[in-house]
Amino acid sequence: MASSCLVVAELSVVRGDRTIVDHASLSLEVGTIATIQGASGSGKSTFLRAIARLIAVDGGRISFEGHDALAMEVTEYRRRVAYVPQLPRMFEGTVADNVRAGPRFQGVSLSDGAVAELLERVGLAAEMARRPASELSGGEKLRVGLARALANDPRVLLLDESTSALDPESAARVIDRVVSLTRTGTAAICVTHIDEHARRFGGARYHMTSGVLAEGA
Ligand SMILES: Nc1ncnc2c1ncn2[C@@H]1O[C@H](COP(=O)(O)OP(=O)(O)OP(=O)(O)O)[C@@H](O)[C@H]1O
Cβ atoms of 191 and 161 closer than 8 Å: yes
Q: Is the minimum distance from the CB of 200 to ligand 1 under 6 angstroms?
A: no
Q: How far is the CA of 57 from the centre of ligand 1 (A)?
A: 14
Q: How far is the CA of 150 from the centre of ligand 1 (A)?
A: 27
| Ligand 1 atom closest to residue 42's alpha carbon, by position in its atom list | 21
| Ligand 1 atom closest to residue 47's alpha carbon, by position in its atom list | 18
Cβ atoms of 95 and 136 closer than 8 Å: yes
Q: Is the minimum distance from the CB of 43 to ligand 1 under 6 angstroms?
A: yes
Q: According to the model, what pLDDT value does residue 2 have? A: 62
User: Which residue's alpha carbon is nearest to atom 8 within ligand 1?
Assistant: 46
Choose the CATH number for 4-215 among 1.10.10.10, 3.40.50.300, 3.40.50.2300, 1.10.357.10: 3.40.50.300
Q: Is the minimum distance from the CB of 209 to ligand 1 under 6 angstroms?
A: no
| Ligand 1 atom closest to residue 38's alpha carbon, by position in its atom list | 21
| Ligand 1 atom closest to residue 43's alpha carbon, by position in its atom list | 18
User: Which residue's alpha carbon is nearest to atom 31 within ligand 1?
Assistant: 41
Q: Is the minimum distance from the CB of 45 to ligand 1 under 6 angstroms?
A: yes
Q: According to the model, what pLDDT value does residue 28 have? A: 96
Q: According to the model, what pLDDT value does residue 27 have? A: 95
Sheet with 204-209, side-by-side order of all strands: 81-84, 156-160, 187-191, 33-38, 204-209, 212-215
ipTM over 0.90: yes
Q: According to the model, what pLDDT value does residue 135 have? A: 94
**Cα distance between residue 183 and residue 29, in whole Å:** 12
Q: How far is the CA of 21 from the centre of ligand 1 (A)?
A: 9
State the Cα torsion 187-188-189-194 to the nearest 10°. Answer: -140
Q: According to the model, what pLDDT value does residue 139 have? A: 86
User: What's the per-residue H, E or C state across 103-117?
Assistant: HHHCCCCCCHHHHHH
Taking only the tens place, the pLDDT of each residue in 94-146 is 999 999 999 998 899 999 999 999 998 888 899 999 999 999 998 899 889 98
Cβ atoms of 191 and 44 closer than 8 Å: yes
Q: Is the minimum distance from the CB of 37 to ligand 1 under 6 angstroms?
A: no
Q: Give the H/E segment covering residue 79.
A: helix 74-80
